[in-house]
Homo-oligomer: A and B are copies of this chain.
Amino acid sequence: MSSFKVRTDLALEVRENMEENARECRGVSVEEEYREESELKITKVVIETMNGAKAMGKPVGTYVTLEAPAMILPDEDYHEEISGELARQLKQIIPGLEGELSVMVVGLGNRDVTADALGPNVVDNLTITRHMMKEYGKAAFDKKKVHMVSGLVPGVMAKTGMESQEIIKGVVEKTKPDVVIVVDALAARSTRRLNRTIQLTNTGIHPGSGVGNHRNAITEEALGVPVIAIGVPTVVDAATIVGDAFDKMMRQAGEEPLDIQDELMAGLGELYNMYVTGKDVDYEIKQISHIICDALNSALEAGA
């Protein structure tokens, strides 16, 4: 048993890494569903109380995870199945969809770094309707109900000099959407989950896993409107991978890792800001962007 700091954006992984008994903590409910034919596993973690939030290190709210080992295989029918399920989950979690909504979809991340381009890719391919609605009204769509969809790719701080939060907040105050949906690449703990898992939450984005710095959170509290976040783990923190491999080996060797924990951390200093990705990251990001884009288009599309 190690105290090596878990660095993951997935509620699912936080829970997996808790002690057996800690998992049964109050204020956190878990539902699991498995679709055998599609090998799709859906896990819904609801953090109901502040106690639960403290135990999990994540804010109160709903976290739905879709896991499918074959997510990035080149099989279009299978993609439709996953994006169909994601659309169903989106319809449940986006508040106000029964009426007509104005929704801003924000693609976080750096479009010039393959593993970080998920958000920009999704927004680039989204069906955008706000400008048509503003110009021509519903007449342009020949539908009874049309949601106004807008899209924003704020870019990353190294290239804009601004926090994403500042940019989003400014645009939200000016264009007044009812809901913001943020799409982002996440860090997972395990390489096994890379590009095979989609997390959906109504708690927004908390850079640094909600620890400390709330300055840059992209949340309802910060923006004044509900924030839904769609995240996909596309990288693993390099120090985490080393730490995990180390723990595993120590345990197999019957040793107690704690003793040299400090040296470990010091030795990993050069891994700061280093990430692990797979060789086919371009192909996988493209596939999973399509899945999310299709799901958003379907969940937000004009109703007959």
Binding site for B on A (CB under 8 A): 74, 110, 112-114, 123-124, 127-132, 148-153, 155, 157-163, 166-167, 169-175, 190-192, 238, 241-242, 245-246, 248-249, 252-253, 259-260, 263-264, 267-268, 270-271, 273-283
Contact of A263 among B131, B167, B253 (CB under 8 A): B253
Taking CB atoms, residues of chain B closer than 8 Å to A172 are 170
Residue of B nearest to A281 (CB): B113
Contact B274 A277, beta carbon cutoff 8 Å: yes
Q: Can you offer 23 A-B residue contacts whose CB atoms are under 8 A?
A: A110-B282, A128-B158, A131-B157, A131-B162, A150-B162, A151-B155, A153-B153, A158-B283, A166-B174, A167-B174, A169-B170, A169-B174, A170-B171, A170-B174, A191-B270, A191-B271, A242-B242, A253-B260, A273-B279, A274-B277, A274-B279, A275-B276, A275-B278
Taking CB atoms, residues of chain B closer than 8 Å to A74 are 127
Residue of B nearest to A279 (CB): B273
Contact of A276 among B113, B148, B238, B279 (CB under 8 A): B238
Taking CB atoms, residues of chain B closer than 8 Å to A280 are 158, 273
Copies of the polypeptide in the assembly: 4
Taking CB atoms, residues of chain B closer than 8 Å to A169 are 170, 174
Supposing A161-B150, A252-B267 touch, asked if A173 and B171 sit within 8 A by C-beta, the answer is no
Shortest distance in angstroms between A104's beta carbon and chain B's nearest beta carbon?
Answer: 8
Contact A161 B149, beta carbon cutoff 8 Å: yes
Taking CB atoms, residues of chain B closer than 8 Å to A238 are 191, 238, 241, 276
Q: In the complex, what distance in Å separates the CA atom of A172 from the CA atom of B259?
A: 52
Shortest distance in angstroms between A260's beta carbon and chain B's nearest beta carbon?
Answer: 5
Contact A173 B175, beta carbon cutoff 8 Å: no
Known: A242-B242, A271-B276, A274-B277. 20 other contacts (CB 8 A): A113-B281, A114-B114, A128-B160, A150-B161, A151-B161, A152-B160, A153-B155, A158-B283, A166-B171, A169-B174, A170-B172, A170-B174, A173-B174, A238-B238, A242-B246, A245-B264, A252-B260, A273-B279, A274-B278, A277-B277
Shortest distance in angstroms between A83's beta carbon and chain B's nearest beta carbon?
Answer: 12
Q: In the complex, what distance in Å separates the CA atom of A260 from the CA atom of B250?
A: 9
Shortest distance in angstroms between A91's beta carbon and chain B's nearest beta carbon?
Answer: 19
Shortest distance in angstroms between A161's beta carbon and chain B's nearest beta carbon?
Answer: 3
Contact B167 A159, beta carbon cutoff 8 Å: no
Taking CB atoms, residues of chain B closer than 8 Å to A275 are 276-279
Q: In the complex, what distance in Å separates the CA atom of A275 from the CA atom of B274?
A: 10
Contact of A170 among B173, B191, B281 (CB under 8 A): B173
Contact of A246 among B153, B249, B276 (CB under 8 A): B249
Contact A245 B267, beta carbon cutoff 8 Å: yes
Supposing A248-B267, A249-B263, A279-B273 touch, asked if A175 and B171 sit within 8 A by C-beta, the answer is no
Shortest distance in angstroms between A3's beta carbon and chain B's nearest beta carbon?
Answer: 16
